[in-house]
Amino acid sequence: MDATLSPKLSPPQGPQGGSVATLAALVRSQYPLMLLALASVAAAYWSIVHGMVLDWMNDENSSHGFIVPVVSAYLIWQRRERLMAQPAKPSAMGLAIVAMGAAMLLLGWLATEYFTMRFSLLVVLTGCVVYWAGWGVLGVLAGPMAYLTLMIPVPAVLYDALAFPLKLFVTKVSVVVLKALGILVVREGNIMAFPNITLEVVNACSGLRSLTSLLAVGLAYVMLFVRPFKEKLAIVALIFPIALAANMVRVIGTGILAQHFGEAAAEGFFHEFAGLVIFLTSIAMLMASHRILSRWFR
Amino acid sequence: MKTYLRYLAIVAVMAFAGVYMATHHDQPSPLAKPLAEFPTQVGDWTMIQNSRFDPDTLRILRPTDYMAKRYQRKDGAVADLYVGYHDGASKAGPLHSPRNCLPGSGWYEVSTEPSPVNLASRTLDTVTAVYQNGADTELFMYWFEVGGVAITNEYALKIQEVLHSIRSGRRAASFIRISVPMPGDKAKASELAEDFLKTVQPVLAQFLQS
């Protein structure tokens, strides 16, 4: 037999010319190089991530950023067996994704546009996964990696575009409820005028701040504790109305209390405390709806 | 393909990005004259108030130089002038568009529209916007300037800053905002703002050229 035609002479090969191994084998044989490459990503992104962490510390609207990477890491840990058993099929497309991420980083940096710079880190990491281990591995990591988007503070342009209509909506509904409760109140825009006090529904009360935080906590809850896909969707869909409803309760409650206790009810410690209570209530409502839904779907 | 190249390729891309960010420094271009020297008398308008911002505001705004002055015309009409100059060096913050800043502090956007103003030698593109805060209504006329080009759109501003930075290593940008109280009719307020703009613009141009 002609040796050059014999398939037996070459070892079994994967599509890229390397033998197909699991991710576990790939990591075991190549972790020093992976760590080196990840260290270069860390070095390039050091100041950008540092700035983001400062935002988490200083901006109440973004303080949920701290829990997001922790939850994401835990989600990956939960999937570690399925992840490690995935076949590693490196794809050259990954390099293109990394290059695109780097281009986003530089453009965002030149434009001082923080969301673009920060988001590009996730693009670069996605590219690395595809380039080193392939689409199958990315499939397992997609959920936890997409979840990381929530750690990036919402750009101001988007935040303000959403905050105002939400503020008006919350004020409108709250005033209707207050009137139905027999309380004298007049609304002008996002201002509620009571006989003895005028309250302004500010950004924080619009539900947007608790919406972003509740979205981070709610999605984590869904990914960790909710199994059937239908239930997952239903609970995610409930996050928005729950955040709005909870904030209306807060605005209405503040309105009623301000009637009796004056400005103290709407300011300072009490206001902050009410915010916390409302946030915990929203989480409780989310968990309760999970209970109800899981009975209902059964 | 050698497997280690897969990792070194990432190191190379990241090193390129890192080195570019570390070495591409925009030149801080100083103003022709500090804004503090802006005259107190311009045409028929006399300065009646000169405000300085509190440290908290400055920490967020981070301008390289700024002025916030109120002028009064002979007939008693008043107009405010804010100029923020950001030299593009690392300590200066980005320009803040009133579109983001005003709604954040309780101002409600009533209208925003482009309003070209005919100057002696050219047409200046500005934006006229009306904002309301409680019982107060103000008419704003504003524009951005990057490398001598007037810009009225936030996205175009970003693009212009990036191009300017890549081309000339400069990122200096200014924001000029005129505001007048609008107790009644918009046409009257807008006429007043335009008169003030035409008076101060030639003087301002001498300060902003660098």
Q: What's the pLDDT score for residue B82?
A: 94
Query: Do the Cβ atoms of B161 and A203 come within 8 Å?
Result: no
Between the CA of residue A269 and those of A272, B60, B161, what are the distances in Å? 5, 25, 43
Q: What does the block give as tokens for B165?
A: 């930075």
Residue of B nearest to A93 (CA): B6
Judged against a pLDDT cut of 90, whether residue A44 lies above it is answered with: yes
Indicate the DSSP class of residue B61. Answer: H
Between the CA of residue B20 and those of A2, A101, B17, what are the distances in Å? 56, 15, 5
pLDDT tens track for B121-150 = 888 999 999 998 878 899 999 999 987 788
Judged against a pLDDT cut of 60, whether residue A6 lies above it is answered with: no
Q: What does the block give as tokens for A215?
A: 């979205």
Q: What integer is the mean pLDDT of A136-159?
A: 90
pLDDT tens track for A77-117 = 999 999 999 999 999 999 999 999 999 999 988 887 889 99
The count of other CB atoms within 10 Å of the CB of residue B3 is 14
Which residues on A lie below 8 Å from B6 (Cβ)?
Answer: 90, 131-132
Query: Do the Cβ atoms of B106 and A202 come within 8 Å?
Result: yes
pLDDT tens track for B5-18 = 999 999 999 999 99
Residue-by-residue DSSP string for A13-48: --TTSSPPEEHHHHHHHHHHHHHHHHHHHHHHHHHH
Q: How far is A132 from chain B (nearest CA, A)?
A: 7
Does the predicted interface ipTM exceed a cut of 0.85? Answer: no
The span from the CA of A109 to the CA of A291, in Å, is 46
Judged against a pLDDT cut of 80, whether residue A132 lies above it is answered with: yes
pTM above 0.90, yes or no: no
Burial class (CB in 10 A: 0-12, 13-18, 19+), A20: middle
- From the list A127, A135, A120, the residue with the least C-alpha distance to A49 is A120
A33, A34, A208: best to mutate for the B interface, most B CBs within 10 A: A33
Query: Do the Cβ atoms of A44 and B10 come within 8 Å?
Result: no
Q: What integer is the mean pLDDT of B146-160?
A: 84
Q: Which amino acid is at A285?
A: M
B14, B24, B137, B160: best to mutate for the A interface, most A CBs within 10 A: B14
- Do A246 and A258 form a contact (C-beta atoms < 8 A)? no
Query: Do the Cβ atoms of B106 and A200 come within 8 Å?
Result: yes
Sorted by sequence, the CB contacts under 8 Å of residue A99 that are 6+ apart come out as: A127, B13
Confidence class of residue B109 from pLDDT cuts 50, 70 and 90?
A: confident
Q: What integer is the mean pLDDT of A232-257?
A: 85
Query: Do the Cβ atoms of B17 and A90 come within 8 Å?
Result: no
Cα diameter, chain B: 81
Judged against a pLDDT cut of 90, whether residue A273 lies above it is answered with: no
Burial class (CB in 10 A: 0-12, 13-18, 19+), B161: buried
Q: What does the block give as tokens for B167?
A: 């081309």
User: What value does the mean pLDDT of chain A take?
Assistant: 83
Q: What's the pLDDT score for residue A145?
A: 95
Q: What's the pLDDT score for residue A298?
A: 65
Between the CA of residue A127 and those of A30, A43, A60, A130, A165, what are the distances in Å? 17, 17, 32, 5, 37
A192 DSSP β-pair partners: A187, A199
- How many beta-carbon pairs under 8 angstroms link A with B? 90
Q: Indicate left, alpha or beta for A237 from its phi (over 0: left) and psi (-120 to 50: alpha).
A: alpha
B7, B17, B99 ranked by CB distance to A105: nearest: B17
Residue of B nearest to A125 (CA): B10
* Higher-scoring residue by pLDDT: B139, B103: B139
* Higher-scoring residue by pLDDT: B18, A200: B18
pLDDT tens track for A225-234 = 888 888 888 8
- Do B31 and B85 form a contact (C-beta atoms < 8 A)? yes
A281 DSSP β-pair partners: none
Burial class (CB in 10 A: 0-12, 13-18, 19+), B163: middle
Confidence class of residue B64 from pLDDT cuts 50, 70 and 90?
A: confident
Q: How far is B39 from chain A (nearest CA, A)?
A: 33
Q: Among A15-24, A213-222, B25-34, B158-167, name the one with the lowest average pLDDT.
A: A15-24
